[in-house]
Amino acid sequence: MNDWGLAGVWQVEVEDAVLKSAPGHIVFRFHARDLHLVLGPSASGKAVRFRVLLDGEPPASEHGLDIDENGRGNVTEQRLYQLIRQNGKITDRTLDIEFLDPGVEAFAFTFG
């Protein structure tokens, strides 16, 4: 619980991880109503497309403000992105976020 793993080619620093080539994944186990991730676009400023799965499925009605029901979103600026907002009973969940473009910077998960 509250552990995350990376898949793909990442450069991991003290404060962030940068995806060097796409695709790349972050998988995270959590227990909270809301799940947010601080993200930033590539150094060029080009938007980075991503897709979120919740327990292996699109989040549907449990999507956060920054993704659609199919789990799709774009990193367009450095800020906090709301990925998941659960509606019912809070249980242990697994988030898989796949970045479809290189260069995204991932900083920190937060909860609500």
Q: What is the pLDDT of residues 83-99, one digit of tens each?
A: 999 988 999 999 999 99
pLDDT of 1 reads 78
Please determine, for residue 2, whether its predicted confidence score (pLDDT) is greater than 90.
Answer: no
Could you tell me which residue, 16 or 50, shows the higher pLDDT? 50
Residues 61 and 87 sit within 8 Å (Cβ to Cβ):
yes
Q: What is the CA radius of gyration of the chain?
A: 13
Residues 26 and 12 sit within 8 Å (Cβ to Cβ):
no
Given pLDDT bands bounded at 50, 70 and 90, which one contains residue 9? very high
Architecture of the domain made up of 4-111: Sandwich (2.60)
Residues 9 and 22 sit within 8 Å (Cβ to Cβ):
no
Given pLDDT bands bounded at 50, 70 and 90, which one contains residue 44? confident
pLDDT of 78 reads 95
DSSP of 38-54, one letter per residue? EEE--TT---EEEEEEE
pLDDT of 86 reads 93
What's the pTM? 0.93
Residues 20 and 74 sit within 8 Å (Cβ to Cβ):
no
